[in-house]
Amino acid sequence: MKILILLAGMLLFAQSAASEEPCSDLLNYKMSKLRSSEQLDFCQAFKGKVILAVNTASNCGYTPQFKGLEALYQKYKDQGLVVVGFPSNEFNQEFDEPEKTAKVCYINYGVTFHMLEKSAVKGAEANAFFKKLIQTTGQAPEWNFYKYLISRDGTSVTAFASNVTPEQLDSKINSLLMAK
């Protein structure tokens, strides 16, 4: 009887381990949060979620898009949307000091979605996550607030130019959230 119980337990363990799907290659990435030593593990935090990744800058004409990004996040976060901001100085419009970047995001615009440490988002110095986004879409950020919308399974990535507002992405996000 003990052997049967042991075998049943081993079978259940094997089934649960097999049913856990690994993260997509895209989500095998970690990065520090803005003004924090805490690392954000993308696989752990974002697996099974629709992701809107955006390269941001504090001193850009598109900076007010933070309001729209936050509104989308608030509208859809309970349905599985995550918004991730990647502050970058690629276009010479981001502060050197993370405290100033944090003030713009958190105080001026009330951002509650994930903001990460400043990094490069194009070229040889681009962070590994953006390198994968660029490789997948064939499109590197042409300016600040370039957006990448990523499906729940991480296999579909669509790039959107900076002048595409967060509000214009609402129906696309809703469609991805509804897809199972």
The residue annotated as part of the active site, out of 23, 43, 60, 105, is 60
Tell me what pLDDT residue 45 has: 96
**Mean pLDDT, the chain, as a whole number?**
91
Reported as a single tens digit per residue, the pLDDT across 7-34 is 445 544 444 443 466 888 999 999 999 9
Homologous superfamily, domain 23-178: Glutaredoxin (3.40.30.10)
Residues 6+ apart with CB under 8 A from 18: none
Predicted confidence at residue 21, as pLDDT, reads: 67
Q: Is the pTM of the predicted complex or chain greater than 0.75?
A: yes
Mean pLDDT for the stretch of residues 140-168: 97
Decide if 60 is catalytic. Answer: yes
Residue 168 clears pLDDT 90, i.e. is over it: yes
Domain ranges of the chain: 23-178
H or E element at residue 77: none
